[in-house]
Structure 1
């Protein structure tokens, strides 16, 4: 296994180096499914976004910080992106590693690294920005205190 090199040169590219597991705070295992593979034999790019959603929302739901059906405050995705480094494919478990890169009054930028089973370097890295809104009016609102407190524990700077 190659030594992680988050600050390694990129052969003249402006593209950031691949992240390592240690760059993130929280992990969640997500199994791939047969239907996730595309005709090229790897997980289709759109599935990566589903993994991102699962990593964040499952954590919030399990901690009692989000109930999609009844919460007064919900997060809506305002922006998202992904950099693909190496393929993932069925059958394997993907480890989604999570951190918070920015925490605003009503928004949060989540960053997620997706890792193959025993790999230290990310197969893909993405982000999305949730803007938290009142579930009825859909107007931005301050993050609830319990949510803000939890998100602060996920703050991490990339090394």
Structure 2
């Protein structure tokens, strides 16, 4: 069995987004429930895509569908702690992208949780994979980790 990798740091991520935790994020054990981290991942990436002007959730002709996701938790967080999500692109394909997200509690420099998801971009109407539009590709390249692809 290989050793578990050490959690990443804020510096490992290309863009950071503040996310407000909610009372409902906590579970019966008094910390943020593990499934909530997936919501944080999607919130961070989609907020960034919308902010860059490359996603209109109602009208974009090309949309990303999640085909794979995963999360590793290093330590618990709890409401009402402020959190920051760091995002980066680890792989950029013809019609797909692997996003990686780190979740940081308060002012911590080390991630409390890290995860990824892969979007395959499809034509909204046909549901079939299409090449990434040029504007989307350019935006994604701005957060592509050095040495990736």
Deviation, 1:13, is 4.3
Query: Which of 35, 38, 62 is the equivalent residue of 2:24?
Result: 35
What CA distance in whole angstroms lies between the structure 1 residues aligned with 2:80 and 2:31?
10
> What TM-score results when the alignment is normalised by the length of structure 2?
0.95
> What TM-score results when the alignment is normalised by the length of structure 1?
0.89
Q: 1:97-127: per-residue Cα shift (whole Å, max 9, x none)? A: 0000000000000000000111111000000
Q: 3-state SS of the aligned residue for 2:80?
A: coil
Query: Which of 81, 85, 108 is the equivalent residue of 1:92?
Result: 81
Q: Is the 8 A contact 1:132 1:143 kept in 2?
A: yes
Instruction: State whether structure 2 residue 92 is matched by structure 1 residue 103.
Output: yes
Give the 5 Å matches for 1:5-154: 13-154=2-143
Q: 3-state SS of the aligned residue for 1:45?
A: coil
Q: What is the root-mean-square deviation in Å for CA atoms of aligned residues?
A: 1.2
Structure 2: gaps of 5 or more residues: none
Structure 1: gaps of 5 or more residues: 1-11
What CA distance in whole angstroms lies between the structure 1 residues aligned with 2:111 and 2:146?
16
